[in-house]
Amino acid sequence: MEKEIIEIERKLPEGRPETPLSLAVKAGDFVFVSGQPPTDFATGEFVQGDIEVQTRQCLENVKTILEAAGSSLDKVVKVQVLCSNAAYFQKVNAIYREYFSKDFPARTFVTVGSWPGAFDIEVECIAIA
């Protein structure tokens, strides 16, 4: 089985080294999307705002990457949400439901200690190609 690297046009942050990862990899019938922090692809900067703003940006990034891979949010089978505070759970769910409203994918919500950036959430997923 061959793998295909999925990239999209995006600006990288000034002065920050590029992280050694692919935004997504298509392998067989699946697309594996790397964890997406709330980055504005046009500027390369983290979106500033509350957890709702950050969650929406993460999910928009996931959506953009999936579409570049020929997939969609409707084909997502597994999501992992990494969040800085479990108290954000309900707020994250409210935004999440805007993107996944039926036939929900399997999901894990994990709290983490910190990231090398000023953000509170990251979302990764696996989808059918």
Q: What is the CATH number of the domain that holds 65?
A: 3.30.1330.40
Query: Residue-wise pLDDT tens for the chain (129 aa)?
Result: 899 999 888 877 666 667 788 999 999 999 999 999 999 999 989 999 999 999 999 999 999 999 999 999 999 999 999 999 999 999 999 999 999 999 999 999 999 988 878 899 999 999 999
- Pick from 35, 33, 54, 32: which is nearest to 45 by CA? 54
- Tell me which residue range forms the domain holding 59: 3-128
Query: By CB neighbour count within 10 A (0-12 exposed, 13-18 middle, 19+ buried), where does 96 fall?
Result: buried
Instruction: Tell me how many domains the chain contains.
Output: 1
Angle between helices 89-99 and 51-68 (to 10 degrees): 30
> Is the pTM of the predicted complex or chain greater than 0.75?
yes
How far is it, in rounded angstroms, from Cα 74 to Cα 102? Answer: 9
- Nearest 5°: the CA angle 13, 9, 84 is 50
35, 82 Cβ separation under 8 angstroms: yes
